């Protein structure tokens, strides 16, 4: 049985950062990833990472922008930690080898991003995630104490009799063998759940696996209703055009040629926070001022050509290859699209969840630093700060404590679950069909604008899809790289995510951040300045809802204008 002091599930930025800092504590670390680590979705991050590094900027200003961006739902103690530790983290990355952009004076160059009162986004052209991920991977390779399980898929978490997490069941994708891992601590870092929606900017692997696995063993999920729709994605495909484009000066226009952000955010214009810009675009589209393909236009031609080639070169390729548009010459059509999960497994500022031995970091976690709406370039920061903190905490904690002996019954259960999928009669719907209906339903009913009727309809669909998923058959019954089987397991994770998102969205009877309820259009601090958490309620029926306080330190809620 493989056994590790610290077992990290997920090898994106959060997982790799956690593994590195646990290893620095002398812990023996295992890190599992269902894809090669550098293919994690963090690789796709374009725009950059925030830090108040400039002497004229301050961590307090960064923190206030984050609190305001969160629509006052973010926990201010966690936000303070993130913003205070950001400059050192950024410098450490640079010293490890991340080639952050430098300006003509040789200083680190920065760009403006949405919702920020100062330009504090540091970047490597528009491949920032890739640059950081590769550097962390190189660092991990230096450590003999880090064992990498690349292309292994975790299917379930294992608890001992007292409820403490003692390991995980994982399938080796290459040969189909199943292993029971023992671990003193398990750190979840499996990223977001964008695939629950279609289209999405998220990679195919972003199926909310750990959110569902933690939920299944009773870990509360928090802020699940807060799903970010990014203002600039390609219609139909969901591909992202980085906020960096607006940071470099690009404008938004409706089909009448109006720079419509003047009406919605006269001060910050295109660089208001994402929820505000997405709502503005959707309003223009809904009220008939969009283009016939249901979009508005992003005009990047106002950015000097040389600068586009230097700082937005990937977007140049995306425009050409996926929209047939030369962004240096003509506007590109975009619309709001699913992008990011603010919610996730409730965890504290050391990544600890309410289940002993279990940590969660990165996009699958909810600390909550993003509250109702994440500011652009704060997610890479979140993955690194809380990844490092959780890794250090788990690494220290493992010293001197005995290695658990997880029960083989968990392995037997998972093997039986997979055998049952293979043994099913070939009938019912295909996994891909169920997934497509799930994604379309969520995008239609649980996106920029929501109401109770639509959310309840979506929940009914999800409840039916859960039953259909239970009997869906897979065509491939082989052992080697059986992606068909993994798709069936992921679908079940996604359905848990969808249900908890919808139940939370129905529960929150107000509009705040990314949740805009047309039937409750105002923010209501008296009743709803609190987190919604959901847990399974034992009888397998609808999730149980609880509330938790928002931690306030120095910023009282104010009206939010940009």
Ligand X SMILES: Cc1cc2nc3c(=O)[nH]c(=O)nc-3n(C[C@H](O)[C@H](O)[C@H](O)COP(=O)(O)OP(=O)(O)OC[C@H]3O[C@@H](n4cnc5c(N)ncnc54)[C@H](O)[C@@H]3O)c2cc1C
The residues assigned a catalytic role are 274
- Using the rule CB under 6 A, is 482 a contact of ligand X? no
- Using the rule CB under 6 A, is 487 a contact of ligand X? no
Which residue number, 180 or 461, has a Cβ lying nearer to ligand X? 180
Of the candidates 70, 190, 410, 500, which one interacts with ligand X according to CB under 6 A?
Answer: 190
Q: How far is CA 221 from CA 122, 165, 177, 339, 415, in A?
A: 31, 17, 31, 19, 27
Which residue number, 166 or 201, has a Cβ lying nearer to ligand X? 201
- Using the rule CB under 6 A, is 202 a contact of ligand X? yes
Q: Is 180 left (phi over 0), alpha (psi -120 to 50) or beta?
A: beta
Cross-strand partners of 299: 251
**Among 63-71, 201-209, 402-410, 500-508, which window interacts with ligand X (CB under 6 A)?**
201-209
| Token pair listed for 184 | 């003193």
**How many other C-beta atoms lie within 10 A of the C-beta of residue 468?**
18
Which residue number, 8 or 67, has a Cβ lying nearer to ligand X? 8
Q: What is the total count of residues that contact ligand X (CB under 6 A)?
A: 43
DSSP string, 314-366: HHHHHHHHHH---TTTS-EEEEEEEEEES-EEE--TT-B-SSTTEEE-GGGEE
Q: Which residue is closest to ligand X by CB?
A: 12
Nearest to 217 by CA among 115, 386, 78, 360: 360
Q: How far is CA 229 from CA 49, 240, 315, 468, in A?
A: 19, 11, 19, 28
- Using the rule CB under 6 A, is 205 a contact of ligand X? yes
Which residue number, 211 or 505, has a Cβ lying nearer to ligand X? 211
d(CA 308, CA 316): 8
d(CA 73, CA 236): 31
Of the candidates 7, 27, 45, 491, which one interacts with ligand X according to CB under 6 A?
Answer: 45
- Using the rule CB under 6 A, is 15 a contact of ligand X? yes
Which residue number, 35 or 83, has a Cβ lying nearer to ligand X? 35
Which residue number, 332 or 459, has a Cβ lying nearer to ligand X? 332
DSSP state of 118: S
- Using the rule CB under 6 A, is 148 a contact of ligand X? no
Q: Is 100 left (phi over 0), alpha (psi -120 to 50) or beta?
A: beta
- Using the rule CB under 6 A, is 130 a contact of ligand X? no
Min dist CB 268 to ligand X, Å, is 18
Residue 229, phi then psi, degrees to nearest 5: -100, 120
- Using the rule CB under 6 A, is 533 a contact of ligand X? no
Which residue number, 254 or 338, has a Cβ lying nearer to ligand X? 338
Of the candidates 6, 23, 44, 90, which one interacts with ligand X according to CB under 6 A?
Answer: 44
Min dist CB 23 to ligand X, Å, is 17
- Using the rule CB under 6 A, is 343 a contact of ligand X? no
Which residue number, 381 or 459, has a Cβ lying nearer to ligand X? 381
Which residue number, 254 or 383, has a Cβ lying nearer to ligand X? 383
- Using the rule CB under 6 A, is 191 a contact of ligand X? yes
Q: How far is CA 169 from CA 116, 164, 315, 422, in A?
A: 42, 15, 39, 18
DSSP state of 38: G
> Secondary structure of 73-85 in the HEC alphabet?
CCCHHHHHHHHHH
**Among 37-45, 220-228, 297-305, 533-541, which window interacts with ligand X (CB under 6 A)?**
37-45
Of the candidates 52, 125, 222, 240, which one interacts with ligand X according to CB under 6 A?
Answer: 240
**Among 3-11, 22-30, 93-101, 466-474, which window interacts with ligand X (CB under 6 A)?**
3-11
Min dist CB 123 to ligand X, Å, is 8
Q: Are 262 and 269 in contact (CB under 8 A)?
A: yes
Of the candidates 41, 184, 246, 268, which one interacts with ligand X according to CB under 6 A?
Answer: 41
Q: Are 210 and 9 in contact (CB under 8 A)?
A: yes
Of the candidates 136, 298, 323, 377, which one interacts with ligand X according to CB under 6 A?
Answer: 377
**Among 39-47, 435-443, 459-467, 497-505, which window interacts with ligand X (CB under 6 A)?**
39-47
**Among 40-48, 251-259, 303-311, 468-476, which window interacts with ligand X (CB under 6 A)?**
40-48
Min dist CB 234 to ligand X, Å, is 11
- Using the rule CB under 6 A, is 21 a contact of ligand X? no
d(CA 462, CA 276): 28
Of the candidates 21, 25, 28, 33, which one interacts with ligand X according to CB under 6 A?
Answer: 33
- Using the rule CB under 6 A, is 383 a contact of ligand X? yes
d(CA 133, CA 450): 36
- Using the rule CB under 6 A, is 353 a contact of ligand X? no
> Secondary structure of 408-469 in the HEC alphabet?
HHHHHHHHHHHHHHHHCCCCCCEHHHHHHHHHHHHHHHCCCEECHHHHHHHHHHHHHHHHHH
Q: Are 76 and 369 in contact (CB under 8 A)?
A: no
Binding site for ligand X (CB under 6 A): 9-15, 32-35, 37, 40-42, 44-49, 128-129, 153-154, 189-192, 201-202, 205-206, 209, 240, 340, 362-363, 377-380, 383
């Amino acid at each position: 049985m493989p056994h590790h002091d610290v077992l990290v599930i997920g090898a994106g930025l959060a997982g790799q950062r956690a593994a590195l800092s646990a290893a620095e504590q002398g812990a023996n670390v295992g890190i599992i990833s269902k894809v090669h680590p550098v293919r994690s979705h963090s690789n796709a991050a374009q725009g950059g990472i925030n830090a108040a590094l400039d002497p004229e900027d301050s961590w307090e200003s960064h923190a206030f922008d984050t609190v305001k961006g969160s629509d006052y739902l973010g926990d201010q103690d966690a936000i303070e930690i993130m913003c205070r530790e950001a400059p050192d983290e950024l410098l450490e990355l640079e010293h490890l080898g991340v080639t952050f952009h430098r300006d003509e004076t040789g200083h680190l160059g920065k760009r403006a991003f949405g919702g920020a009162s100062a330009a504090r986004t540091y970047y490597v052209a528009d491949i920032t995630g890739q640059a950081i991920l590769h550097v962390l991977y190189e660092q991990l390779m230096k450590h003999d104490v880090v064992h990498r399980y690349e292309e292994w898929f975790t299917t379930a978490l294992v608890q001992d009799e007292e409820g403490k997490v003692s390991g995980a069941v994982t399938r080796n994708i290459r040969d189909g063998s199943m292993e029971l891992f023992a671990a003193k601590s398990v750190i979840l870092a499996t990223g977001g759940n964008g695939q629950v929606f279609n289209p999405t900017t998220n990679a195919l692997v972003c199926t909310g696996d750990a959110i569902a696995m933690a939920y299944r063993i009773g870990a509360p999920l928090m802020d699940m209703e807060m799903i970010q729709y990014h203002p600039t994605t390609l219609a139909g495909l969901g591909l992202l055009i980085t906020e960096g484009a607006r940071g470099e000066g690009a404008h938004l226009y409706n089909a009448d040629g109006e720079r419509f952000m003047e009406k919605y955010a006269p001060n910050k214009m295109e660089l208001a926070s994402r929820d505000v810009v997405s709502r503005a675009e959707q309003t223009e589209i809904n009220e008939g001022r969009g283009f016939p393909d249901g979009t508005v236009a992003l005009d990047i031609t106002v950015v000097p050509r040389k600068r586009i080639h230097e700082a937005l070169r990937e977007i140049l390729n995306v425009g050409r290859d996926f929209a047939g548009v030369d962004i240096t010459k003509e506007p590109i059509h975009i619309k709001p699209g699913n992008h990011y999960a603010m919610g996730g497994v409730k965890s504290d500022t050391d990544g600890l969840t309410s289940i002993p031995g279990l940590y969660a970091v990165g996009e699958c976690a909810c600390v909550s630093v993003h509250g109702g709406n994440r500011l652009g370039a704060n997610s890479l920061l979140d993955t690194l700060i809380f990844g490092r903190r959780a890794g250090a905490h788990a690494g220290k904690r493992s010293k001197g404590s005995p290695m658990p002996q997880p029960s083989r019954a968990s392995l037997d259960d998972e093997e039986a679950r997979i055998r049952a999928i293979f043994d099913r009669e070939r009938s019912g719907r295909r996994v891909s069909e169920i997934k497509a209906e799930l994604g379309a339903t969520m995008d239609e009913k649980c996106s920029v604008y929501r109401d109770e009727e639509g959310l309840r309809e979506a929940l009914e669909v999800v409840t039916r899809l859960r039953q259909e998923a239970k009997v869906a058959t897979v065509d491939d019954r082989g052992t080697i790289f059986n992606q068909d089987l993994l798709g069936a397991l992921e679908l079940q994770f996604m359905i848990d995510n969808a249900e908890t998102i919808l139940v939370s969205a129905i529960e929150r009877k107000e509009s705040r951040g990314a949740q805009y309820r047309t039937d409750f259009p105002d923010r209501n601090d008296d009743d709803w300045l609190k987190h919604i958490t959901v847990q399974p309620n034992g009888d397998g029926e609808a999730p149980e809802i609880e509330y938790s306080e928002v931690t306030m330190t120095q910023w009282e809620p104010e009206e939010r204008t940009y």
